[in-house]
Structure 1
């Protein structure tokens, strides 16, 4: 993922806060020799203090041999993406039809060292961490090895601790464009009101002025 200086995260807090609210992504695992990579969609719980994400997958999943052969993986999350019509981004001194369309989006890629967890008690602890993240209000019985109601299901899954060893974060929201162009994009997103337009608009407004606009 290419990251221009004006698209880079301002600091760790920016991408960590965003990732805390975006907990579904794709785990990319290098394939065995002669095979393509495995790309697995999944929910995960990211823990900034521990520097790791936790998740689990079914034991029959075909990626396990590749993961055990090479535990270096990437967890990729992309959201708040929108298509931006060319006229919104036309230079101030150019006709609107000369504007170049583009995409706005936020993306975080965590490079991780994967640790497979098969011990029933450890799996139960990791599952409880996940449930605590997704259901802070409670409502589900805790998972415990060899105890009802969920203990019997532990044999059918394997848990993963994804130790974060590197981060690439990008917030692509025209931060280098002249103010007039940025204002036009903000107004366009507000008027269009598409599924992710409000989130994209918030990013653009929040990051405004962080990079000297090109004239």
Structure 2
């Protein structure tokens, strides 16, 4: 990934935090069938390998899991908060006019060697953990056990498990750090005016630009 120094994020705990907050990752493989990319919800286990291990399950009908059996490495891309930045927010626009639009975003790229897992205990744990990660915040959370046992068994036969121990990971938080302070303040105000949709980006621009009050 193109990594200007101002935007680089090497802290593993910060990278992991983005994955936890935005778990729908894009799994990319380059195997015998060529380039394939599919989105999957991932779980991240930080304990079982140095940089963490990604866990997911794939439908057996999806040919990408066969590609995972053949490749030495795959890439998973996680996308955090992102949105367009208009030059109209910049003080520099009013001063010189020498500005252009851009895009602010946070992203994490993780590389690893995948391994296929055909194990009912592992698969059931995966389904329970993934469900809990989403349902746990609900007042009346749904559980896998709420479905009929024979239905769950049939569903499990239709999936395979995958673990990807992370061998390399990169983070990039492009949050107007390369702009003058007056421009960054304008970006914060612009995102803040967008309400709830813009607040996460406004907060990140303030944090990354050292403008937190």
TM-score normalised to structure 2 length: 0.85
Structure 1 match to 2:34: 36
Q: Hey, what does 2:143 align to over in structure 1?
A: 140
What per-residue deviation string (whole Å, max 9, x for no partner) do you get for residues 4-33 of structure 1?
11111262222222221111111001131x
1:21 aligns with 2:24: no
Q: Does 1:164 align with 2:162?
A: no
Q: Deviations over 1:150-200 (max 9, x none)?
A: 1232211111111111101000001122211111111121224473x2111
**Structure 2 residue aligned with 1:177:** 179
> Distance in 2 between the 1:99 and 1:4 partners?
19
Quick check: 2:74–2:111 contact (8 Å CA) kept in 1?
A: yes
Number of residue equivalences: 203
Gaps in structure 2 of 5+ consecutive residues: none
* Greater fraction helix: 2
8 Å CA contact 2:87–2:93 kept in 1: the answer is no
Could you tell me which residue of structure 2 aligns to residue 203 of structure 1?
204
Q: How far did 1:117 drift?
A: 0.7
Q: Using the TM superposition, give the Cα deviation of residue 209 of structure 1 relative to its aligned residue in structure 2, in angstroms.
A: 2.9
TM score, norm. by length of structure 1 = 0.84
After the TM superposition, list the runs of 4 or more consecutive aligned residues in structure 1 that deviate by more than 6 angstroms. none
Tell me how large the CA RMSD over aligned residues is. 2.3
